[in-house]
Amino acid sequence: MPSLMQKINTLISANLHALVDSALEANSVKVMDEYIRQAERNLDALEDAAATVGGTVKTLKRKYEEFAAAAEKLDRDIDTLLVRGKSDLASAAQAELNQKQQLAQEYYEQWQGQEQEYRRMLDSKLKLEAKLTTIRQEREHLKALMELVEAKQTTTKAVKSLNDLAGVGDEDVQKLGDQIRARLDREDAKLEMASTNMQEQIDEAIGTSEIELQLEERRQRLGLGDSASGSTGSSTSSTSGSSGA
């Protein structure tokens, strides 16, 4: 059984020209009405799923920050214990630190993974909403075109696709058909641009996170850990420390 996201992607990738041609061939907008019903149902389901994933993202981020903060405090405590000559306590604290750093790293990875999924779901929601709006608008335009063709009866040949409109002699029919074609092409182009922009944003976000982790590891090795500012820097430093512990 197809997953929700598979259904959403199928609806998003639906060929608008093919939908219009099918409606023209059947001389009915029922095929477009069915697309609208499916899109509306799946949009509702996607909104519920996105809300659930969004809540999970917040939970995982909070857990990561809690363990990262605890690991950071333990790291300072271990230095204090060693300075005071309490090696046994320092050893126990180090073991606990390793555990908390590991948990922080796991929560961080889960958080980042769910964050990407959440962004994809929101992006898909926007794309499907945009396509649904286009289909609703073109349904009305197509209905007007059908009525115009029927009313003028300028050709005995059945109009089965937008391409067939090129051979129809009536200027108004051709003009309306060209307008529908132009709008469909424009919506396809907008959808393609949105997909490209979303992927670039995800790649940039992932790349930035990797660079920040690498810089924090370098600061730790150089003894410059205290120069990092901001809560994000501190949390990332604690997480990165697991590789050196």
pLDDT of residue 197: 63
φ, ψ at 28 (rounded to 5°): -155, 150
Beta carbons of 9 and 124 less than 8 angstroms apart: yes
pLDDT of residue 117: 93
Whether the model pTM is above 0.75: no
- CA separation, residue 124 to residues 11, 130, 145 (Å): 10, 10, 31
Beta carbons of 236 and 216 less than 8 angstroms apart: yes
Q: Nearest CA to 50 among 121, 111, 129?
A: 121
Amino acid of residue 223: G
3-state secondary structure of 245: coil
Centre a 10 Å sphere on the Cβ of residue 45 and count the other Cβ atoms it contains. Answer: 12
Q: Nearest CA to 65 among 231, 215, 212?
A: 231
Residue 165 CB-half CA count within 13 A: 23
Tokens of residue 146, six digits:
């059908």
| Alpha carbons 199 and 168: distance in angstroms, whole number | 42
pLDDT per position in the chain (245 positions), as tens? 568 899 999 998 888 888 888 887 887 889 889 999 999 999 999 999 999 999 999 999 999 999 999 999 999 999 898 888 888 898 999 999 999 999 999 999 999 999 999 999 999 999 999 889 988 988 888 887 777 766 555 444 545 555 555 554 455 556 666 666 666 666 666 666 666 665 666 566 555 566 666 667 766 776 775 544 444 444 444 444 444 43
Centre a 10 Å sphere on the Cβ of residue 230 and count the other Cβ atoms it contains. Answer: 8
| Alpha carbons 20 and 149: distance in angstroms, whole number | 15
Amino acid of residue 147: E
pLDDT of residue 23: 84
pLDDT of residue 166: 54
3-state secondary structure of 244: coil
Beta carbons of 204 and 73 less than 8 angstroms apart: no
Q: How far is CA 134 from the centre of its chain?
A: 21
Instruction: Count the helix, strand and coil residues of the chain and give each as a percent rounded to the nearest 5.
Output: 85, 0, 15
Domain map (residue ranges) of the chain: 4-148
